Amino acid sequence: MSYEMTLTALADPTRRHLLERLRDGPLAVSALARDLPISRPAVSQHLKVLSDAGLLLVEPAGTRRLYRLAPEGLDDLRAWLDRLWGDALDSFAARAHDIAREIARKETPQ
């Protein structure tokens, strides 16, 4: 949902591995846990974090639960990144040296 939760979810290597495996289509929990060095409950916990962050969707299929990437899962994060690294950044980069010299002469900021 929020970009904060998205970043928290993406910060873990195991969770990134899960996302990359789901890149090729939906998978059940046991299938995801099969080639990981951790227990199945641990995978379930990671899947919960990813789902709560809006990155995954679940679809029950019999006794199994199929997880897949949520198409709009990255929207909030992308919006935040775009806002942070916006156009103003480029102009500042161009003026960086001038600004630094001003500051060195104590004209700006603390």
Partner DNA sequence: TCATTTCGTAAGACATGACTTACCGTAAGT
Partner DNA sequence: ACTTACGGTAAGTCATGTCTTACGAAATGA
Cα of 24 vs its chain's centroid, Å:
18
Tokens found for residue 75: 């929207």
Residue 7: name the closest of 69, 94, 84, 78 by CA: 78
What secondary structure letter does DSSP report for 19? H
Integer Cα distance of 98 and 29 in angstroms: 55
Looking at 5-13, 18-26, 80-88, 89-97, which segment touches DNA (CB under 7 A)? 5-13
* SS3 assignment, position 63: coil
Axis crossing angle, helix 13-21 with helix 40-52, rounded to the nearest 10? 80
- For DNA, which residue of 1, 7, 39, 75 counts as binding (CB under 7 A)? 39
Contact pattern from residue 29 through residue 68 relative to a copy of itself, giving x for each residue in contact according to CB under 8 A and a dash for the rest = -xx--x----------------------x-x-xx-x-x-x
Point out which span in 18-26, 29-37, 73-81, 93-101 binds DNA (CB under 7 A).
Answer: 29-37
Tell me which residues touch a copy of itself (CB under 8 A).
4, 7-8, 10-11, 13, 16, 19-20, 23-28, 30-31, 34, 57, 59, 61-62, 64, 66, 68-69, 71, 73-74, 77-78, 81, 84-86, 88-90, 92-93, 96-97, 99-100, 103-104, 109-110
